[in-house]
Structure 1
Amino acid sequence: MADYRAIMALLLQGRSYRQIVDAVGCSHRDVSAARKTLDDRGLNAGALAEMSDVELAGLFPDGRSKVSAGYDLPDFAQVVKSMKANPHFTLLQSWRTYVGARSVLRKYGYAQYCHLFGRYAVKNDLVATLHHEPGMAMFVDWAGDTIPIADAVAGRSVKAYLFVAVLPFSGYVFCQAFTDMRSEAWVNAHVNAFSFYQGIPQIVVPDNTLTATHRKTKGDAARFVNDKYRHMADHYGTAIVPARVRSPRDYPEDSVIPSPCRRPLVGPGFVGPYSG
């Protein structure tokens, strides 16, 4: 199933269909479905941010999830084995082999074949190397360990918490130490990272730190972008897209508010400081 939250967020930001297809890796049909849902239901960025994953999924029922017994089920275990043996082996090649094999059952089309392989990958916890575009994303988090800082005036040592941002395409890293991990420090760290990089990424991907996201209800898997963090994104015109809970390998697509101030990371263009 397409990542409709990311698609709708980018639509609300005013991105073109082609830009969204390239960014999310979806089809034009997926973008059209998201556009129709936004228009029919009158959704804005705030409403999208408040919507849980379950509620969002209910807007896009996936009829393809029902696998018909009349179709020849692909041998995806063998496909994965071929991919491991040959890094240049593609799904398109495997689909052509699948279609060419003799069977009395019907064959899946390429789009449905890819969809089924995606379900197989999730079910079997398979991972793949992600390829990033320049200026597309910035990953952020608090580093796991604190660092001691000597306070010469007070004659004591204090803890410093390290904020880390990275551009995945280039591996360009920005770090800054703070005396706490409160919301003000978190937002200021982003502002300083944008200034350091001299531009704004299209999306910012935080891990699920409490200064970035929160749960509406204790124990709820769905997390929502904190208001002050979202207002900062409003000012700079970027999208906050948290990594999925308990899915650290996502780190490498909840709310976005469009802004005419946005500048791409592919060149200089820092927007004025945020004071919200």
Structure 2
Amino acid sequence: MLKFSPEVDEALVDFMKLVISEVKKEKGIDVTHHIENVAARYSRGGSTIPLSTPSSSSTTVDDASDVVSEDTFVNKSDNTSENNKVVSCEFTYSVKYKDRKTGHVFQKGDKCGKDSVPGLLYCKSHKGSKQALAPVVEVIEVKKELQGYKLLSSLEKEPDTKFTLQEYYTNPERELTHLYEKVYVDSTNTVVMENPDTSSDNKWILVCKSIINDQGKRVIKRFSETVLNELHKQRVHRHYNYIIEDNLFRQVVSDYAAYTTLSNS
């Protein structure tokens, strides 16, 4: 037996009432009785969870495990739930079928026609068929959809949180090698520049990579997609104080070439 706190019980009741209301409104099916049966199953020896309203009728689907119980399922139309009439079974054959007892041959599209179980749309033989239980699947899907809406709504209501940014370079003087002006290269060969916007909390702009070739010359290269993705991921999860502007690659190449030419002249 599962025991929940009063707060959890209250939240479950509210959610189940919402499920009942939405299913009844959208699908025309009242699942109150079934959910109360499930609630009673999990609260034996304790208090029950009242979900019924005066207008609620008895419609059952499966329990919380999403496994359909053929013996407990009741599928009522508006007129049968009100008058408890016995109607002809609504089961429709999807293939040609011969009844072994009567010898009658049903063609594809024929209805069963036998008397239904009182209060149901299907006879005793077909009350557990896929057709009879199809609304159960719809109820389950609606329940899952409502859970998704509830989660989405909860996320949308979350207040925006302003994180305290972490220093990407805890000791810039030791971690960065100066290239030119306010542009540097770090120990991973990332080319980084100081953010000219001093009002921004992001102190650094990561632009591209650089390598030293066989001739000992520095070559500026673009970030690979893998590196870009990793930098973005670190920025999001660790709240580092940098932004990524790989579109400044050409500017860095041009400026660095001009700087080295001037330095060598």
- Classify the TM-score, shorter chain: under 0.3
TM score, norm. by length of structure 2: 0.23
Q: Which has the larger radius of gyration?
A: 2
- Structure with the bigger RCO (C-alpha within 8 Å, sep 6+) is 1
TM score, norm. by length of structure 1: 0.22
